[in-house]
Structure formats: C-alpha cells, structure tokens
C-alpha cells in the first residue's frame, strides 16, 4: 500500500513538471450552450416574450443571464428591460414558449464524441445545469440514450440541495458529492460556456474548460483554465484523460 502511494505521488510530481494543468478523474458538464445548442433557442424565447412589451432582448442582457437559474434569469431581464411583469408572470410565459421550442434543441459540435469517449474509457461524468427539471426533459426529448451515459444530472433550479445558483459554487460541489466515490473538487474538470458558470467552477476549486459564445468579452474569459473554440478542439490527455 505504501509503495502504491509513493508511486502515485511520484506520478503526480512528474505530471506537474510536464503539464500546466492538474490531472483529473471526474468530469462535470454544463448543459445549455455547451452540450446542447439551446442559446439561440433561448434568444428566440426571450425575444418573443420581451417583444410583447415593446422591448428588445439584447446581447448585453443575455451576457448577464447566461448560466443563471430561471428565477434569477427572469428577474434580471425584468430589471434590465424594465418590463411591467412579475417574475412569476414572466416564468409562466417562459414555460409556455419552452414547450414548443425546446424539443428542437440540437447537439453542439463535438459533444457526443466527447461524452461517448469518456464513458467508454470509464471516466465518471455528470451534468450540472441551471435549467429546471421540466425544461431539461424537453431538451433531452431526442437524446435519451446519450444522456443515460451520465451518472447524474443536477438542476440548480429543481434540486433542493443547491441553495444558490451560479456564479456561486453550490451546484458543482453538490454535483461532485453525488459521484459514488465523492471526489475532491480539484479532481473534477468542468466544461462551461457561460461566465457565471466559469466563476462558479473556479469558486468550487475546480479547473474549467470554457467554450464561450463568440461575443463573450475577453474579460469574462480570464478565469477559465482553458478557452476553446469548440468541444471538437479538446485534448483529453492534457488533463490526464485517455486521448481520442
């Protein structure tokens, strides 16, 4: 046992000398805009609602709500655009439009390849999303088999264990705790597209690969461990995972 421990310690030291990234063994994915191409759909959804009040859903507002839970998203949009509705009224409209548009959600480039690769090599994977359980079900209408490969999906909106949404670290810490062997935060790698999600992962003590929208400012990318154009560009071996 001591020899095995020493071997593991030496391996970690060798890894640290040759790599700027820490070796991990668990992976947590965001959902919207990262695995699923829902962001354009949400632009349509929020634009439909805002247009009823003669308002435009701008990118400046969108950047503020990316990664937030539905209640917070609604409150931010109402505040920023001065909409004459309550959060509850906004949510009612949101859920109605979601039922029509969310089942049409596409997968993001490289998402299926990466998920299946990690699963096939025995890397524990999970999802941590701000979306509600109801909206997750709508989005996964056509992807039940693929998402069955994840050990669990944590919803910041619906899971009572998640007390605060992103950019707070709660969702990632809860998600990590649900893995069978409860890995330490530093052994988890997070994939995110939103600045609030990156902040949450960093606050949780995890490395985070960011795949941002092309309009996200450079300032909002600074905290990410790595920034990629697409999941297709990810090299697993950089974090000690099996290469493609």
CA distance 183 to 172: 12
Paired sense of beta strands 207-210 and 188-192, if any = parallel
CA distance 198 to 223: 7
Residue bearing tokens 């805002």: 50
Of these residues, 25, 32, 170, 193, which one is catalytic?
32
Could you give phi then psi for residue 230, rounded to 5 degrees? -155, 155
Cα separations (Å) of 217 from 10, 15, 195, 229? Answer: 40, 32, 9, 14
Helix 39-51 to helix 70-81 angle, to the nearest 10 degrees? 50
Three-state DSSP class for residue 34: coil
Provide the sign of the torsion angle of the four alpha carbons 176, 172, 29, 144, taken in this order: positive
44 is catalytic: no
Q: Respond yes or no on whether the N-terminal peptide bond of residue 14 is cis (omega within 30° of 0).
A: no
25 is catalytic: no
Of these residues, 25, 30, 159, 233, which one is catalytic?
30
Active site amino acids: 30, 32
């Amino acid at each position: 046992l001591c020899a095995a421990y020493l071997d593991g310690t030496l391996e970690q030291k060798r890894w640290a000398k040759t790599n700027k990234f820490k070796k991990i063994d668990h992976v947590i994915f965001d959902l919207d805009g990262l695995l699923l191409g829902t962001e354009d759909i949400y632009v349509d959804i929020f634009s439909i609602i805002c247009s009823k009040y003669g308002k435009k859903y701008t990118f400046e507002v969108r950047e503020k709500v990316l990664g937030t839970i539905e209640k917070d998203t609604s409150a931010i949009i109402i505040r920023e655009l001065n909409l004459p509705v309550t959060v509850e009224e906004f949510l009612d409209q949101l859920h109605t439009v979601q039922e029509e548009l969310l089942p049409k959600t596409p997968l993001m480039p490289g998402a299926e390849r990466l998920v299946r690769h990690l699963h096939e090599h025995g890397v524990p994977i999970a999802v941590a999303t701000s979306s509600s359980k109801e909206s997750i079900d709508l989005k996964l209408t056509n992807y039940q088999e693929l998402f069955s490969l994840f050990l669990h999906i944590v919803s910041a909106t619906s899971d009572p264990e998640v007390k605060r949404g992103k950019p707070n670290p709660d969702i990632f810490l809860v998600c990590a705790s649900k893995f069978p062997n409860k890995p330490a935060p530093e052994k988890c790698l997070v994939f995110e597209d939103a600045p609030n999600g990156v902040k949450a992962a960093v606050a949780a003590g995890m490395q985070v690969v960011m795949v941002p929208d092309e309009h996200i400012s450079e300032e909002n990318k600074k905290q990410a461990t790595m920034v990629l154009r697409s999941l297709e560009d990810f090299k697993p071996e950089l974090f000690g995972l099996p290469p493609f």
